[in-house]
Structure 1
Amino acid sequence: MDLHADRWTGGWWMDGWTGGLVNGWTDRWVGGWMDGYTDEWTGGWMSGWWMSGPLGWYLDGRQLGGWTRGGSGMRPYLHLVALNSPLSGGMRGIRGADFQCFQQARAVGLAGTFRAFLSSRLQDLYSIVRRADRGTVPIVNLKDEVLAPSWEALFSGSGGQLKPGARIFSFDGRDILRHPAWPQKSVWHGSDPSGRRLTESYCEAWRTEAAGAMGPASPLLLEQEATSCRNAHVVLCIENSFMTSSS
């Protein structure tokens, strides 16, 4: 087919043409016409679907935001987003932290259920995400860039390490790992590497900012570094079920 090109140059673009229109997706393009696709999504039609705004699909392995389209149907993802300012250990308890996640998510139009990335007196961090969604749903940032292949992958013993070069954004769109509003690049979590609560050191269930009280925070999500509850660190919020995904 003389219209084939390795990259978009105008007109039709095909890669691995096998004939027919694509009704589902695999990890790579396997046939059909693709009109309007460049290395970065600029809008257009794909196999009869219009993609614009926050709703999009995976194309040739590149995430475009929203839902992904696969041979077995649509797969969503879960957002991991930071609160708009660092907080001390005195967050008015886990419910106070959860409420801030809820408020800030709604303020930017995210309709999913967001919970604070924290263990507490009656809650293990690992259990926050719905059981059915822990193993296969990708974790993404506010701009829909993949941070980890799944929730379970964060608790694999690597300290919750994210993909190299990963960016974490606050609800108001700032990159917390580079922005000076977060001078200490540590994340409160209150958990061991497997996501279970550390009952002896989580700032009295996130109710105190006393200098003598201690809580676990770390540059990686789940490393163990005891720090004073008076310090202000990053508080993350996780979308806990794709059933209420905002996308």
Structure 2
Amino acid sequence: MAAQDFPMLSKGTRVKEEDLASLACQLGECTPFPKCLDNQMEAVEPRQVVQYSQDYPTTSPQQAQYPLHLIALNSPQRGDMQGIRGIDHKCLLQAQAIGLKGTFRAFLSSRLQDLYSIVRQNDRELLPIVNLQDEELFSNWESIFSGSGGKMNDNVHIYSFDCRDVLDDDAWPEKMVWHGSSTRGSRQTDGYCETWRTGSHVVTGMASSLQEGYLIQQLPRGCTSAFIVLCIENSYIAE
């Protein structure tokens, strides 16, 4: 699929392959699921998205079996991500492009958002956090912010929406993750690249070494750096 397949794009417009996939999905022409999920798709019944408001009072025990996915964007990002809304939208588009129905948000703190608060309170202890292959990364959301620096389960990898292992793929030369947070998941006012809107080398964002298996180490890095950005599912799927 190429840019000429989309007549609404002006002549000379440069469009990334990942954005073409998202546009195609919105027109109903996307591949339902990536090849790396083929072995996961044995269920024949369609699944329904369950979304509750922030003040929904309870989560039933039956709902606890459905995990939340943590998936990387298909390319590294510098600090100038068009703000938190821009990068949230990219998470949503790339999830839709492979047929995922849940709501995805960027794994980032910003001026008006603490990373910890992205997942609903009723789900933070109940739902495991898994990768694209449904392998468990964390027992639940709370465990990421327990003071361990967000240490992942051993021998479990993080994949991008297009099925690449971000630690093994050369598309991410720097095996670092942006997060902009404290170890407890609260925003770091000097650690989110001016609300993820600048790529200046004199401004810093808080990052962590995925190579070492951690998601929220406290490692300030210049906002010119191009690092992994993760997306967390914050609505879950019920049969």
In which range does the TM-score fall when normalised by the shorter chain?
A: 0.7 to 0.9
Bigger fraction of residues in helix = 2
Please report how far the alpha carbon of residue 136 of structure 1 lies from its aligned counterpart in structure 2 after TM superposition. 1.6
Residue 116 of structure 1, aligned match among 83, 89, 106 = 106
Please report how far the alpha carbon of residue 80 of structure 1 lies from its aligned counterpart in structure 2 after TM superposition. 0.1
Asked if the contact 1:112/1:246 (under 8 Å) is kept, the reply is no
Q: Distance in 1 between matches of 2:86 and 2:43?
A: 31
Match of 1:233 in 2: 227
Residue 125 of structure 1, aligned match among 106, 115, 126 = 115
Asked if the contact 1:111/1:246 (under 8 Å) is kept, the reply is no
Gaps of 5+ in 1: 1-42, 44-51, 57-71
Residue 209 of structure 1, aligned match among 199, 205, 214 = 199
TM-score if structure 1 supplies the norm length? Answer: 0.70
Question: After superposition, what is the alpha-carbon deviation per residue over 1:181-206, rounded to whole angstroms, capped at 9, x for unaligned?
Answer: 11111100000000000012210000
Q: Distance in 2 between matches of 1:55 and 1:106?
A: 19
Hey, which bits of structure 1, 4+ residues long, moved more than 6 A?
Answer: none
Question: After superposition, what is the alpha-carbon deviation per residue over 1:26-62, rounded to whole angstroms, capped at 9, x for unaligned?
Answer: xxxxxxxxxxxxxxxxx9xxxxxxxx72549xxxxxx
The 3 A distance-change label for structure 1 pair 230 and 173 is same
Equivalenced residues, count: 180
1:147 aligned onto 2:137: yes
Question: After superposition, what is the alpha-carbon deviation per residue over 1:76-130, rounded to whole angstroms, capped at 9, x for unaligned?
Answer: 0100000000000000000011000000000000010000000000000000001
Q: CA RMSD in A?
A: 1.7
Asked if the contact 2:91/2:105 (under 8 Å) is kept, the reply is yes
Q: Distance in 2 between matches of 1:236 and 1:204?
A: 19
Bigger relative contact order, structure 1 or 2 (CA pairs below 8 A, ≥6 apart): 2
Asked if the contact 1:217/1:226 (under 8 Å) is kept, the reply is yes
Residue 73 of structure 1, aligned match among 62, 74, 86 = 62
> Which is greater in Rg?
1
TM-score if structure 2 supplies the norm length? Answer: 0.72
Question: SS of 1:73's equivalent?
Answer: helix
The code of the aligned residue for 1:84 comes to N
Asked if the contact 1:133/1:241 (under 8 Å) is kept, the reply is no
Q: Distance in 1 between matches of 2:183 and 2:155?
A: 21
Match of 2:41 in 1: 53
The code of the aligned residue for 2:176 comes to S
Q: Distance in 1 between matches of 2:232 and 2:155?
A: 20
The 3 A distance-change label for structure 1 pair 125 and 54 is farther
Question: After superposition, what is the alpha-carbon deviation per residue over 1:106-160, rounded to whole angstroms, capped at 9, x for unaligned?
Answer: 0000010000000000000000001100002000000111111000000000000
Matches within 5 A, 1:1-247: 53=41, 55=43, 73=62, 75-219=65-209, 220-242=214-236, 245=237
